[in-house]
Structure 1
Amino acid sequence: MAKQFDSLSEVLTRFIEAQHIFFVGSAAPDGQVNISPKGMDSLRVLGPNRIVWRNLTGSGNETAGHLAQLNRMTLMWCGFEAKPMILRTYGTAKTLHPRDEAFRSLNALFPHSDGARQIYDVSLDLVQTSCGYAVPFMAYQGERDVLRNWTEDKTPEEIATYWETRNQHTIDGAPTYVTSPKTP
């Protein structure tokens, strides 16, 4: 049976901190809905209604483009190893880029990465748990090092070129503002 809460409790925060993967959902008013898996020590709970997660350079940039159009985000965790639970948080997010003043202090919460592309500062307005009884048991075997190695093999200029050529637009053609700010 699903239960809803106004904020994260200490128990739910510990559940989040124990997970090795989370999923991000976002959508613009039109076009494709995006659901993306995330890992690599990229999320911090900063309070009962605040989560920040760092988005590293990748093949797409859907979340940034969606939030620029419609500011809403869902984060989800599944208990694969122990407790059968699904946890979803619903809210809005502020997108911060390396050019933004607040980026630096939040980025310091995470291990160094030259591929840090955005940080999403998420304000939660609803938290929901559900049973997760149909989620299979899966054992964590470790982090993949492919993205870290790819990033370490690039200069900051090469990463910026990748953003310019590969991360400027969503699959629906909406701008992501990864290399230049959105103008009013």
Structure 2
Amino acid sequence: MAKVYDALNDRLRTFISEQPVYFVATAPESGGHVNMSPKGYADTFAVLDDTTVAYLDLDGSGVETIAHLRENGRITIMFAAFSGAPNIVRLSGRGRVLTSGDPEFARLLGRFGPHPGVRSVIVVECDRIADSCGFAVPHMSFDEDRTLLDEWGERKDVRQRRAYRAKHNRESIDGLPALKAEETDPAHDRS
């Protein structure tokens, strides 16, 4: 049975900080495809206050989260323990997308580790914080982060990243608008 919390207490914050991977789920308002994305690099997630979290959104082949949040704001972030005591933490709430033109963007970049190819910062106001047992989650060991995404980002110059984002990140797979033309310019978007 899930236990629901009013705020992210110290135990939940510690648990979250120890997880090397988390999962982000969003869906369009009606019809379309549900999206579930794994996120690595533990330094891309930050607890901002008792009910607000944020994560660094890096360049990728899809842009579902941005499109879905701009349409309806619904999001759930899940952390699962693959070692230690069995536990699952879900943070559900309303998300918003911050790009380099937003006043909060630069201030929040300092909360994350250094990564090239920063597309946006996703901020989530949690309206439900819950954990559950995770008894069926297998034990797995963490060896190391894959550095491939950062390496890919380092190989692209501004023109190449702009072209990539214009081609792959302007709309979701269901045709929902995602990044605007002026948001595809990655000239200064690095944490």
Q: Normalised by the shorter chain, which TM-score bucket?
A: over 0.9
What is the match of residue 42 of structure 1? Answer: 44
| Overall identity of the aligned pairs, in % | 36
Distance in 1, matches of 2:79 and 2:15, equals 9
Distance in 2, matches of 1:103 and 1:76, equals 23
What is the match of residue 5 of structure 2? Answer: 5
Distance in 1, matches of 2:18 and 2:49, equals 16
**Matched letter for residue 23 of structure 1:** F
What is the match of residue 18 of structure 1? Answer: 18
**Which consecutive residues of structure 2, in runs of 5 or more, have no partner in the other structure?**
184-191
Distance in 2, matches of 1:38 and 1:132, equals 19
What secondary structure sits across from 1:63 in the alignment? helix
Distance in 2, matches of 1:167 and 1:156, equals 15
Alignment of 1:146-161 (within 5 A): 146-161=148-163
Alignment of 1:64-143 (within 5 A): 64-143=66-145
> Contact (CA 8 Å) 1:55, 1:116: kept in 2 or not?
yes
What is the match of residue 188 of structure 2? Answer: none
> Contact (CA 8 Å) 1:50, 1:123: kept in 2 or not?
yes
Cα deviation code 1:6-61 (max 9, x no counterpart): 22111001000000000001111121110100011210011110101011000101
> Contact (CA 8 Å) 1:7, 1:125: kept in 2 or not?
no
Cα deviation code 1:73-111 (max 9, x no counterpart): 100000101110011011111210122221111112222
> Contact (CA 8 Å) 1:163, 1:178: kept in 2 or not?
no
Q: Residue 177 of structure 1: CA displacement?
A: 2.4
Q: CA RMSD in A?
A: 1.2
Distance in 2, matches of 1:65 and 1:180, equals 15
What is the match of residue 33 of structure 1? Answer: 34
> Contact (CA 8 Å) 2:57, 2:119: kept in 1 or not?
yes
Distance in 2, matches of 1:108 and 1:97, equals 14
**Aligned residue among 53, 57, 61 for 2:63:** 61
Q: State the TM-score, normalizing by the size of structure 2.
A: 0.91
Q: State the TM-score, normalizing by the size of structure 1.
A: 0.94
What secondary structure sits across from 1:95 in the alignment? strand
> Contact (CA 8 Å) 2:19, 2:81: kept in 1 or not?
yes
**Matched letter for residue 26 of structure 2:** S
Q: Residue 113 of structure 1: CA displacement?
A: 2.6
